[in-house]
């Protein structure tokens, strides 16, 4: 958990990470951010879809199955001028979803960012059924929409540069609960 997680309001963002999920584990909470509502921003992965919430508004992607017990690279981008979110898997563009309700929305600064758990209240309200059962690495977030070539390079190089908003290295020393940190 990181608080405060975001230094200034965001009108666009890119969130990238590596994830490894085993089959038959149900829905997986990857990232949750709460400041105004408990669901200001969430990434949740199901066996048949990935859901990304911004400002309590959902973007549903149905083109990607991540339950194959292999490492996957995922990037989500969002911008508020058109309310568009794009999903990239393993460096390749997969799908675009528009939710006009996020036009002109700004993700407010401050708040709590939690990896691997949904917040049912701001900074808490944790439910053991809303956790990540898998592995997560290189979670970074930027205050801009990354280019397709930048996202492809992250996957190709197996390396994610430090995010301007959220930096993976911050989370190594702020774990809570049944979390194991491995250095590879």
Band of residue 26 on the pLDDT scale cut at 50, 70, 90? confident
Q: Tokens in use for 181? A: 């940190």
Three-state DSSP class for residue 15:
strand
- pTM value is 0.90
In a domain, 147, yes or no: yes
How confident is the model over 156-176, as a mean pLDDT? 79
Structural domain of 130: 2-170
In a domain, 79, yes or no: yes
Cβ neighbours for 63, distance < 8 A, ≥ 6 positions apart: 87, 94, 95
Cα 92 to the center of its chain, rounded Å: 17
User: Domain of 39: which CATH number?
Assistant: 2.60.120.200
Domains contained in the chain, number: 1
């Amino acid at each position: 958990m990181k608080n405060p997680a975001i230094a200034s309001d965001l009108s666009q963002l890119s969130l990238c990470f590596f994830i490894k999920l085993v089959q038959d584990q149900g829905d997986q909470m990857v990232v949750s951010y709460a400041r105004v509502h408990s669901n200001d921003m969430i990434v949740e992965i199901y066996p048949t879809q990935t859901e990304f919430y911004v400002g309590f508004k959902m973007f549903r992607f149905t083109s990607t199955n991540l339950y194959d017990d292999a490492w996957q690279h995922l990037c989500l981008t969002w911008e508020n001028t058109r309310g568009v979110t794009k999903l990239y898997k393993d460096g390749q563009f997969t799908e675009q979803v528009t939710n006009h309700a996020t036009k002109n929305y700004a993700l407010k600064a401050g708040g709590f960012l939690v990896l691997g758990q949904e917040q049912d209240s701001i900074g808490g309200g944790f439910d053991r059924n809303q956790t990540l059962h898998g592995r997560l690495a290189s979670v970074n977030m930027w205050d801009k929409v990354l280019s397709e070539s930048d996202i492809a390079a992250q996957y190709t190089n197996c390396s994610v540069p430090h995010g301007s908003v959220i930096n993976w290295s911050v989370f190594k020393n702020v774990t809570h609960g049944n979390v194991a940190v491995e250095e590879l």
